[in-house]
Amino acid sequence: MASPIEMAAMRRAIVLSAFGLGATSPNPPVGCVILDASGRVAGEGYHERKGSAHAEGNALAAAGAAARGGTAIVTLEPCNHAGHTPACRALLLDAQVARVVVAITDPTSRGRGGVAELRAAGLSVETGVLAEEALKVLGSWRRSLLRGRPTLTWAYEVAGGRVRGAVGPVAAADELLWEADAVVEAGGRLWEAVSDRHGSGMMRVPPRWDGGDVAALVAALAAGGVRQLLVSGGADVAEPFLREGLIDEVVVFVADTGRPADRLVSELGLLAGFRIEHVGRSADHVRVLARRDDLREDVAQLA
């Protein structure tokens, strides 16, 4: 069973992992904390972007020799294959850590997976530690793999009885942009959020969408590495995605116009079939997050 020190380190790793949101796809945003043999934090890191060192590599580099005999706390099962970077399983063994604590096992593991190989090498390995909390960061990535398509978030603003896209008029929507891999807006504008921010050219996103076959569009985006798609606009933009059952969550910004009758309008009825997960208040908006009723994670399967 994970100790209180290890659980505190896992929460630290979860927060670290969020710095990779919107920058690592098609890879997952992962965080890692290395505890030395006495349980003190010796190093930490996260996966910054595709092609760069994984979280374990960055954390082990920061810890150096202090990792020997210590514990690696990681939000996702260490990978067991080499690609642009060495296998994290090999890095952990080379560093001579004694124990590995994992939040979520990797559905993309090749062969026996990193956990099985680490155990075979004699390390103590525990999985499923704070898995539900780790999903706050890894959930969209994991769902996209299990379902074979990106997780779709529809964001819009309700203001003065009108509905419009949330990207642009609402400053709070900037957080959604940072978490998205790609964005589709009114008029068929489709752009790659990651490239726009980092110039990575990481994914292959066409510049426009003709408003046609949304299933084909989503499939093409998945093939290009998109794991989180943001749909920003009114019902005209979202309707074809809703019709195909592709919208997974909705973020509504309800503007405070000073007139209560304008704050809630019939368009909020589009949330039918979704359950409210969070409601928050800013200076000029109420932010509502709702997810599909069937969008539930089976935490028992994550370990």
Question: Which amino acids are annotated catalytic?
Answer: 56
Strands (E), 56-204: 71-76, 99-104, 124-126, 151-159, 162-165, 182-185, 190-192
3-state SS assignment for residue 139: helix
Query: Do 225 and 26 meet the contact criterion of CB atoms below 8 Å apart?
Result: yes
CB atoms within 10 A of CB 226: 26
Which DSSP symbol is given to 173?
G
Element (H, E) at 180: none
Q: Please state the length of the chain.
A: 303
Measured CA to CA, the distance from residue 185 to residue 208 in angstroms comes to 10
The alpha-carbon radius of gyration of the chain (Å, integer) is 21
| Distance of alpha carbon 141 from alpha carbon 205, whole angstroms | 18
The alpha carbon dihedral of 47, 67, 12, 126 has a sign of positive
